[in-house]
Chains A and B, each alone.
Chain A
Amino acid sequence: MERPLIRDIRCYWRSLRCFWGTSLAAELEYPLNAAIEFVSVLGNLAGSLFVLQLLFAGGPSLGGWSWSGALVVLGLYTLLDGLTTCVLQPNLSRIVSHVQTGTLDYVLLKPIDSQFWLSARTVSPWGLPAIAAGLGLIGWALAQGGPEAAAGLRSPGAVLLPLALLLAALVILYSLWFVLAALSIWFVKVWNATEVLRYTLVAGRYPVSAYPPALRLLFTFVLPVAFLTTVPAEALLGRGSALWAIGSLLVAALCLAGSRLLWRFAQRSYTSASS
């Protein structure tokens, strides 16, 4: 007799494989998109590097960050952006149309957790170039910065901290997206709210200390951009502080719990289309 938890995990894993297999097959019908995405990632990366270089023209540091440190931040941003294109954007931007057309009814009736279904139904391979570019940039920056740059990675135990913070960043990013998308239950016309999020998160391309104090507060406490790229980058460079690490994990836990609570509350307010 299997324990219920293990059975659940198996069931969800099987569903996930099925979801992603079918959506990959559908996306691969458009091979031209792969080329476009590849060129777009390369172009964006070249442009970002160019601007970063312009910003470094004034001195050897940007907000106290060296060139290789800023590259790590940019790499993390590119990585998160790729993951957004892969999973978050294709799924969560659809919640709105489910609400508009009333097909959310069918989702809620399925014998599977509705938040899981809405968050993991499809996957798009078009974020993979960005993920690869981001990882490559991080690796290159750490190698270029010399042995002391990768101080965060000296011992196997120390590798865990950046990984945990990166995971926390992913959880925060997911929760932000999900909360904004779930707001469409009440305000049907917020389909572009997630676009706003995407454009403001561009701030994560640069270390948060490069901004004036007022924006720094905003990017830490209101829109937690700091926890997305700057904090994991500090850990990778071996400069992570316990306070920021604990804060990051705490914010991640709060955001996830918040998104879950909001969704349960939203379901209670949902009255389906045309009723």
Chain B
Amino acid sequence: MSWAWRVARALLGSQYALMLEYRAEIALWALSGVLPLIMLGVWSGSGAGAAAGLSPQQLSHYFLAAFVVRQFTVVWLIHVFEEDALQGRLSPFLLQPLAPLWRYLAAHLSEQATRVPFVLLMLGVVGLAAPGVLWWPSPGELVLGLLAILAAFLLRFLLQILFTTLCFWSERAAALDRLLLIPYLFLSGLVAPLDTFPPAVRRLALATPFPWMVDFPARLLAGEPVNVALGFGAIIAWCLLLWPIAHVLWRAGLRRYSAMGA
């Protein structure tokens, strides 16, 4: 246990220092997550929100919360991993007595920590541009919302591990991420609240893992009525389903891996 604690501290500390070096780049990545804010602009200009029974305030809370959720659930594992596998950097990682994925997980968590000031800055700009649009969730909602963001991030990370293992078979597996991004974009609630979906599409979306990645944490933060137990239960269930598949694929992939240039 103390070993795990030491490793976690060392990994997180070093990765956080590394990410701080790249803060300008991370600021740009944070800026590239403006999609929910753009969608808030379009939705508040159309009458569609009102038609679905959403007040302007509910809409703005929802999209601002979705913006925050999106900022802290970004996963870029497949792109780094593809490069590491192609350039042979993965080989020394495999020699260490620690599964390489922990290193990537620490990198993601550190990157999120580096993002915090930039996200606060962007929220501040939004608050200045549209006074009264920001709000402070109640302590309970805040804690549950942050937990839900973390759970959503872990689910997304696990889902991307599935696709990342394909890097062992193909040199350009990162292109597959584009395919994964499409259902995530349109079914997760990032560009439209799930309440505005036609009932059939809504049922279909809820049967996929995607709404739990954005819609569920965003609604918690926005103070909308939401079934907390069902949300966390669904995330855990999806994780339990994906974990063994990811494990098997990872083992099979490692057996195939022969280090570039070897």
Contact = CB atoms under 8 A, between A and B. Distances in A.
Interface of A: 30, 32-33, 36-37, 39-40, 43-44, 47, 50-51, 54-59, 62-63, 187, 189-193, 195-196, 198-200, 202-203, 206, 210-212, 214-215
B100 interface: no
Given A199-B34, A200-B34, A191 B25 contact: yes
Interface of B: 22, 24-25, 28-29, 31-35, 38, 41-52, 129-130, 170, 172, 175-176, 178-179, 182-183, 185-186, 191-192, 196-197, 201
A123 to B, nearest CB: 17
Contacts of A59: 46-48, 51
A192 B28 contact: yes
Given A30-B172, A211-B45, A47 B32 contact: no
B179 A39 contact: yes
16 contacts: A33-B172, A36-B176, A40-B178, A44-B185, A50-B201, A55-B48, A59-B46, A63-B46, A189-B25, A190-B24, A193-B28, A195-B32, A199-B33, A200-B34, A211-B41, A212-B41
A205 B34 CA distance: 14
Contacts of B196: 54, 57
Given A58-B49, A200-B34, A43 B179 contact: yes
A52 to B, nearest CB: 10
Given A36-B178, A57-B52, A63 B32 contact: no
Nearest to A48: B186
Contact of A54 (B28, B29, B130, B192): B192
A212 B28 CA distance: 24
Contact of B38 (A43, A191, A195, A202): A202
Contacts of B43: 55
A190 B24 CA distance: 8
B107 to A, nearest CB: 16
B182 A199 contact: no
Contacts of A189: 22, 24-25
A210 B175 contact: no
A155 to B, nearest CB: 34
A58 B48 contact: yes
A214 B172 CA distance: 41
Contacts of B130: 214
Contacts of B33: 199
B56 to A, nearest CB: 11
Contacts of A54: 48, 192, 196-197
Contacts of B197: 54
B214 to A, nearest CB: 14
B46 A50 contact: no
A63 B48 contact: no
B6 to A, nearest CB: 32
A91 B151 CA distance: 38
B176 to A, nearest CB: 7
A63 B196 CA distance: 19
A203 B39 CA distance: 8
Contacts of B50: 58
B41 A51 contact: no
A119 to B, nearest CB: 22
A55 B51 CA distance: 10
A33 to B, nearest CB: 6
Contacts of A198: 32
A65 to B, nearest CB: 10
A196 B33 CA distance: 8
A169 B187 CA distance: 31
A40 B170 contact: no
9 nearest A-B residue pairs (beta carbon):
A58-B47, A58-B48, A47-B186, A43-B182, A58-B51, A199-B32, A196-B32, A211-B41, A57-B48
